Amino acid sequence: MDALKILSVFAPIALLGLAGCSSTTTSNRGKLAPGQYEWNPERMKTGPVLVVVSIDDQLAYVYRNGVEIARSTVSTGRPGKETPTGVFTILQREVEHESSIYKGAQMPYMQRLTWSGVAMHAGDLPGYPASAGCVRLPLEFSEKLYGALRLGGTVVITRKGAAPTRSVRPADILLASRATNPDNRAVPDPSGKVVWEPGKSPSGPFSVLLSYTDRRIYVWRNGVQIGQAPLSIPSGASLPEGVFLVLDGTEPPDPRFPGVTMRSWSVLSLEGGSSGGNAVEAVRSGVEMPKEFRKNLASLLTPGTILMTTNGSSNSSTRSASGFTIMTPEAQPE
C-alpha cells in the first residue's frame, strides 16, 4: 500500500529531551497491543499539533501545544523499504486515496509527507514494521488524527522514542542579542547577501532552517524559499540542534525587549545537539542576524511555526555527504 521510492528530509536522527526544559508528557506509557491507541484531546484543546513517530517503539505520539494528547501503535517500513527519519511537512491530505504505485491499494485518511510516496494512512498493523515506507495507523485513530492536523502540519519520524519539552525561560529565538551571550564572547555583525522576497509565496506553512555550518538562516513559506541571511556565531560556540515549535499563548514580557510578544517553544533535540542549559535561550543568545531581516522574520512568527537548528548544511559546497538534504521542501511533480 506504500510507495517504493522514499526520500529522507534529514540524515537519520534520534530525538532526546533537552536539558533545561520541562517535560509536558502526560501518558503513563503503558503497553499497547497492535491496533490499539489512546486519544485524550481534552488534555489540551488548542494550539499547534506535533506528531512524533518512533520506529523502535512502533508508536506514534501526538502533542498539542506541547502536551501529549494521544498515542497509537503503528507499522513502519520493513527491511529494505524503511521509513525515512526526519522532520516532514504534510503536503497533501485525502480521506479516500488510492496508491499510484500499487494500483487499487486503498490508503484511507492519507496525509502525504513526501511527493515520492511516503505518507501516514490507515492500514494493517501486525505488530512489527511491515509497510513499504509509509506509516500505517489504526483506522479510527487515522480518522481522528486527520481531523486534528492541517496542511503544513509537522511530523517528526525518529528511530527512538522522544517527548518534546517546553522552554523554561520563554524567549523569542529570532531576537538574538550579543548583550546576553552567556560567555560574553564577541559576536561580529553578520555580513553577506540578504534575500527577502515574501511575494514569491504570500501564504501557506512557514518554516525556518538555521544552519550553523552554513552560518545562514533560510526561510520557506508553502514550500517556496522566500528569504535567507548570514549569521554571526562566536568562534568555538557549541549550540543546540533541534526542532523548535512555537506554541500558542503568550508569556510575560522580557524587559530586555520592551513591547515584544514573548512565546514559549516546544523543543525536540537532535541526538548529541544539546550543550546544556535552556535550548531556546542558548540559540537566541548565540547567533546574530541582520536586524532588518530579523524584524521581517519576526512579523511572520505565529503558533505552529517550525524552526530547525542543525550543524548540517543546506549548501552543496559545504555539505559533507552527497544526497544529504535538510528541510528543503519537495516541489510537487508536474
Which range, of 34-38, 120-124, 329-333, averages the lowest pLDDT? 329-333
Q: What is the DSSP letter of 243?
A: E
Among candidates 98, 68, 86, 119, which has minimal Cα distance to 14?
86
In the block, residue with C-alpha cell 545537539: 273
Q: Is the pLDDT of residue 249 over 90?
A: no
Average pLDDT for residues 125-141, to the nearest whole number? 94
Q: Is the pLDDT of residue 276 over 60?
A: no
- Give residue 8's pLDDT band: very low, low, confident or very high (50, 70, 90): very low
Domains and CATH numbers, the chain: 15-158 (2.40.440.10), 165-310 (2.40.440)
- Round the average pLDDT of the chain to a whole number and report it: 74
Average pLDDT for residues 246-268, to the nearest whole number? 76
Q: E strands of the chain, at which residues?
A: 15-16, 21-23, 37-39, 49-54, 59-64, 67-73, 86-89, 92-94, 110-112, 119-122, 135-137, 154-158, 165-167, 195-196, 206-211, 216-221, 224-230, 242-246, 265-270, 306-310
Q: Is the pLDDT of residue 15 over 70?
A: no
Burial class (CB in 10 A: 0-12, 13-18, 19+), 322: exposed
Q: Is the pLDDT of residue 44 over 80?
A: yes
